[in-house]
Amino acid sequence: MSYASAVWLAALGEFDDESDSIPSSLDNFDDDFLLKHFHFTRSAVCFIIDYVGAQMESAKYCSDELSTDVIVLAALCVYANGFLPNETADMIGISQASARRAVNTVSRVLSEKAEEFITFPDSYNDRVLVAQEIQRFCGIPNVVGVLGCMHVRIKPTPEEEIFFLNAFDYHSIMFQMICDSQGNLLSVESQWPGSTAEQSIWESSKIFQQFQSGRHGHSWLIGPYSESMQVPVVILWKDMF
């Protein structure tokens, strides 16, 4: 597919670790700890550190004079857990205040490069490869992704609170995402207040327009959808062209 091959190799742990390429800060964590608390293999973490470091160097990001590996490890831990435990912060060698700045920095770097890594299977061969993996997983043919929405909590202005109040009684922005059978993101769109119905989000999304135009051939998406937002059912979205 059109993903950077190094990402696949890193995520699958299929390239050899060079002893001089592993940051010393990783010595504090064994492989099981990394998977449990950072949700990545050692190889994947090394790749992310190298990639983010290169982007930070080229853009001259401010880093509180902390090394790239410390900044990335702090951010990855927050991404995986929602917070950075004090014990892990001590092992990494970062304060909570610096960790918050690290999350902002790494998030900015990754978001600026998201389009290089989040790509929908656009060619016939790419769609076939994804569909085969999904069919092995669930038995449904010609499925090129699993569709779903998630809420990200925000603090809107008082004037906008009513628009962002979702069915779970908190304020959010809605993200529509598509992933493959291995959980790799294929599409992410985020522009809807939390009160928006999932059906409306789907019908106004760019990926929906692409399916409507026949861009993705005779393929399917599987997605949870509930009109009442209480009892989810499975709906199959199919290109009818």
The 10s digit of each residue's pLDDT in 204-229 is: 999 999 998 889 988 889 886 555 43
pLDDT at 1 over 50: no
pLDDT in tens, 109-127: 998 888 888 999 989 999 9
pTM beyond 0.85: no
pLDDT in tens, 169-206: 999 999 999 999 888 899 999 889 999 998 889 889 99
pLDDT of residue 225: 54
The mean pLDDT of the chain is: 82
pLDDT-derived band at 61 (thresholds 50, 70, 90) equals low
- 94: how many CB neighbours lie within 10 A of its CB? 24
pLDDT-derived band at 19 (thresholds 50, 70, 90) equals very low
Segment among 55-64, 78-87, 134-143, 215-224 with least mean pLDDT: 55-64
pLDDT at 155 over 60: yes
Rounded (10°) CA dihedral 78, 83, 89, 91: -70
pLDDT of residue 3: 44
| Range ranked top by mean pLDDT from 13-17, 23-27, 80-84 | 80-84
Of all residues in the chain, what percent are helix, strand and coil, respectively (each to 5)? Answer: 50, 15, 35
pLDDT of residue 55: 87
CA distance 116 to 130: 18
pLDDT in tens, 74-100: 999 999 988 999 999 999 999 999 999
pLDDT of residue 190: 87
Looking at residue 22, its amino acid is I
pLDDT of residue 84: 93
- 93: how many CB neighbours lie within 10 A of its CB? 15
Give percent of the chain above pLDDT 70. 80
Give percent of the chain above pLDDT 90. 48
More confident residue, 161 or 61: 161
pLDDT at 7 over 80: no
Nearest alpha carbon to residue 16 among 37, 41, 33? 41
Could you give the C-alpha distances from 99 to 66, 93, 158, in angstroms and in order? Answer: 10, 10, 29
* Residue whose entry in the numeric block shows the structure tokens 């043919």: 141
Nearest alpha carbon to residue 178 among 214, 140, 134? 134
pLDDT at 5 over 50: no
